[in-house]
Structure 1
Amino acid sequence: MSSTYVNTLLFGVYPYICLATLLIGSLIRFDREPYTWKSDSSQMLRAGRLRLGSNLFHYGVIIVILGHFVGFLAPHWAVDWALSPVAHQLLAMVVGGIAGAIAIVGLTILIHRRLATPRIRVNSRKWDIAVVLMIWLQLALGLLTVPLSAFHMDGALFERLTGYVKGIVTLDAGAADLLIGAPLTYKIHIFLGFTLFLVSPFTRMIHIWSGVGALSYLFRPYQIVRTPKTRAKDPIRS
């Protein structure tokens, strides 16, 4: 089995399997098991360190995710007028590095809390522990790419990675070829990222969709709240 074939299988075929499973699996779970669509918070078992760890992790990881979407999917015409490839890469390294460090500190607190507290550990499913460890590893790999990127400050590698992500989104059959010769850390980071998409519909990570859906609250019509005092003045009731 040639290395080119393996590269195409892992980075040209596998991503679409993961994305299709994420979309179809999420729809099926929402339709058949809507009451399992939750994060299964352990706050009632122990509130200590939950707020600190959760806030650090969620704020950090949200910036990381948004940074990945904007940094890798923004069209060239929307970026090139303001940033050169080198400046774009440096911005991604600084912002992503800081946000990733904040997120992994928060997740470390949450993992220690989950594993070191007997009540939480007993009530944790195997997949609960597996998923948070996968996310921790993914964040660690992302942080490892920061010093690696410092050795490729010409922007060429960053442009290849950007082209790969855009190629996957635009269904470019040759997108996987851009990762041939890329450092192994980047490849593992990408592979694990798509694997997280793959397992999301079957784990507590499904609640991420609810976070995205919550944005609709910004555009919904105002609610009319009727208090007892306003109801008393209602001419229809009087």
Structure 2
Amino acid sequence: MKDALNLFFFGVYPYVALTVFFLGSLIRFEREQYTWKSDSSQMLRQGSLRWGSNLFHIGIISLFLTHLVGLLTPAPLYHALGVTTEFKQLMAIIVGAVLGIMCLIGLLLLIHRRWSEYRLLHNSKVSDWITLIWILLVLCMGLATLFTSVQHPDGAIMELLADWAQAIVTLRPEAAVAHMIPVPLVYHIHMVLGMTLFVIFPFTRLVHVWSGFGAVTFLVRPWQLVRPRR
């Protein structure tokens, strides 16, 4: 039973999550472009929005990028740069703790704001609460992994996690599952919750993240040419 669960969650589920993430986002863009937004609640109540939103967005975007780089960077590459596995894990613990706490504070401010304001509460959708609570779970489990990481300063667990991610990217699911077997349960829970976030992404306001990345193209697009009527 345990082997079957490991095979599904760490050999099959990553591909399911990524497929739903990309295909679901594309279908929503094609069929429901007017829902491709974050549904700003600023007009309903300003309150702690600025602090909560800034802390949350800076924290979660930075966490995503650091996870991406940390997991997908091959060990020979950072070893060639003089970075040891132990030092990389130490930096991951410190940076992860700072960004995780920053994101958690921002998220709690946003949840309190939405819950305590009558108009916000009654204008919130079920998907809004699912998104907020799910991110909260992912964050809490991510912070919980730090206590286990401190107990393994040799960086062995971090190497296993990186090997798993790189095996998934290179389409080697059996190797990926093998790397996850020795990893403690707290990481398993954190990773399954995190992958599920990609599954719910296209069906919630999280989809507006694509618009944020798309806005970067405005920096390189050609000037708009306006011709006067004669």
Q: Which category of TM-score, normalised to the shorter sequence, fits these structures?
A: over 0.9
* Counterpart amino acid of residue 43 in structure 1: Q
SS in 1 for 2:58: helix
Check 1:86–1:191 CA distance in 2 against 1; reply closer, same or farther (3 A cut). same
Are 1:219 and 2:230 matched, yes or no? Answer: no
**Alpha-carbon deviations, 1:68-113, whole Å to 9, x = none?**
0111112334311231111111111111110111010000000000
Give distance in 2, aligned partners of 1:6 and 1:75.
Answer: 27
* Counterpart amino acid of residue 92 in structure 1: A
**Is residue 10–residue 173 contact of structure 2 (8 Å, CA) maintained in 1?**
no
Following TM superposition, by how much is the alpha carbon of 1:224 offset from its aligned partner in structure 2, in angstroms? 6.0
Are 1:147 and 2:140 matched, yes or no? Answer: no
Following TM superposition, by how much is the alpha carbon of 1:177 offset from its aligned partner in structure 2, in angstroms? 1.7
Give distance in 1, aligned partners of 2:202 and 2:69.
Answer: 24
**Alpha-carbon deviations, 1:104-124, whole Å to 9, x = none?**
000000000011111001000
Following TM superposition, by how much is the alpha carbon of 1:185 offset from its aligned partner in structure 2, in angstroms? 1.0
* Counterpart amino acid of residue 109 in structure 1: L
Counterpart in the other structure of 1:209: 210
Counterpart in the other structure of 1:69: 68
* Counterpart amino acid of residue 7 in structure 1: N
Alignment of 1:86-101 (within 5 A): 86-101=86-101
Are 1:124 and 2:124 matched, yes or no? Answer: yes
Following TM superposition, by how much is the alpha carbon of 1:5 offset from its aligned partner in structure 2, in angstroms? 1.3
Counterpart in the other structure of 1:193: 194
Counterpart in the other structure of 2:31: 32
Higher CA-based Rg:
1
Structure 2 residues not aligned, in runs of 5+: none
Following TM superposition, by how much is the alpha carbon of 1:135 offset from its aligned partner in structure 2, in angstroms? 0.4
Counterpart in the other structure of 2:178: 177
Give distance in 2, aligned partners of 1:219 and 1:79.
Answer: 32
**Is residue 12–residue 173 contact of structure 2 (8 Å, CA) maintained in 1?**
no
**Is residue 56–residue 107 contact of structure 2 (8 Å, CA) maintained in 1?**
yes
**Is residue 86–residue 153 contact of structure 2 (8 Å, CA) maintained in 1?**
yes
User: What is the percentage of aligned positions where both structures have the same residue?
Assistant: 46
Counterpart in the other structure of 1:80: 79
CA RMSD across the alignment = 1.8
Give distance in 1, aligned partners of 2:124 and 2:162.
Answer: 37
Give distance in 2, aligned partners of 1:87 and 1:215.
Answer: 33
Give distance in 2, aligned partners of 1:21 and 1:42.
Answer: 28
**Is residue 54–residue 106 contact of structure 2 (8 Å, CA) maintained in 1?**
yes
Give distance in 2, aligned partners of 1:220 and 1:11.
Answer: 40
* Counterpart amino acid of residue 93 in structure 1: I
Are 1:161 and 2:161 matched, yes or no? Answer: yes
Are 1:105 and 2:105 matched, yes or no? Answer: yes
Give distance in 1, aligned partners of 2:27 and 2:182.
Answer: 38
SS in 2 for 1:205: helix
SS in 2 for 1:109: helix
**Is residue 107–residue 136 contact of structure 2 (8 Å, CA) maintained in 1?**
yes
Give distance in 2, aligned partners of 1:216 and 1:209.
Answer: 12
* Counterpart amino acid of residue 182 in structure 1: V
Give distance in 2, aligned partners of 1:217 and 1:96.
Answer: 31
**4+ aligned runs moved over 4 Å, structure 1:** none
Counterpart in the other structure of 2:57: 58
Give distance in 2, aligned partners of 1:83 and 1:209.
Answer: 33
